[in-house]
Amino acid sequence: MNFPGLPLYFLVVLRTSGVMWAGPVFGSSAIPAQVRVAISLMLGLIIAPLAAASAKALPTALAPYLVLGVKELIIGLAIGYAASLVFAAFQYGGSLMDLSAGFSLSETISPVTGIASSPMTNLYYFLAVILFLVAGGHLLLIMALAESYRMMPVGGGTLTGGAAAIFSHLMGNVFVLGLTVAAPVVGALFFAMVVFSLLSRAIPQLNIFQVGFTLQTFLGIFILMLALPAVSTVAGEAFGAMFGMLYRLMGAMGG
């Protein structure tokens, strides 16, 4: 298999760079930009011969070529962003638990995301990352990137109405999945708050909310420990569904 020319190689690198910058794990701010650039260049060397087999005729003028380059970068960003929404769902679920258990008061700047986040948000994000890597999700993402050149040849992909509908569905699933992973802890803490409220009514002399705040924190941690195996199962199913929707998205963008 012969290596294609540099114009096609640079277009492949642009789509790959979009996935590396917006995708899960690779797009983390903990990974230096130089490393992501190096990965994009190396993957471009591997994928370019595959992309050449289905690539359309490339423009010879500079302006159309630059427009095509921007288009390839947007396609890569769309693929990476769609794949990262599962992780956003786990962060959302963790933030709901932080709010219920009172952990939101201890926000710190996460070195991974670069934004302020609380303990459960970080815990669920790292849990999702570990499960993703253990399941080989990073390799599946690279395989999906390579497959995108069959479904969306260079110069052929576009953002269609069907792709927009799939994006909307994926973003809606962020809230559903976040509520699913947070439901055991949030539900238990809500029930505990109801019990504490009834006790404060029955025993006005007892400062139940001062005691209840500490009990609520320990109860949240205890329920979280019980729920982690179920959350791992939900994560595995979510990753499988995510890759299914990712291929549907690429199919819609490929027309």
pLDDT on residue 1: 45
Is the pLDDT at 251 greater than 70? The verdict is yes
Q: How confident is the model over 207-243, as pLDDT tens digits?
A: 666 666 777 778 878 888 888 888 888 888 999 999 9
- Give how far the C-alpha of residue 64 lies from the chain's centroid of Cα atoms, to the nearest Å: 32
240 token code pair:
């499988």
pLDDT on residue 144: 92
Top-ranked range on mean pLDDT: pick from 11-20, 146-155, 204-213: 11-20
139 token code pair:
């390799």
C-alpha closest to that of 177 among 110, 124, 108, 229: 124
Cβ distance 74 to 18 under 8 Å? yes
Is the pLDDT at 102 greater than 80? The verdict is no
The mean pLDDT value for 168-181 works out to: 88
Nearest 5°: the CA angle 169, 167, 41 is: 140
pTM for the predicted model, two decimal places:
0.84
The mean pLDDT value for 30-53 works out to: 88
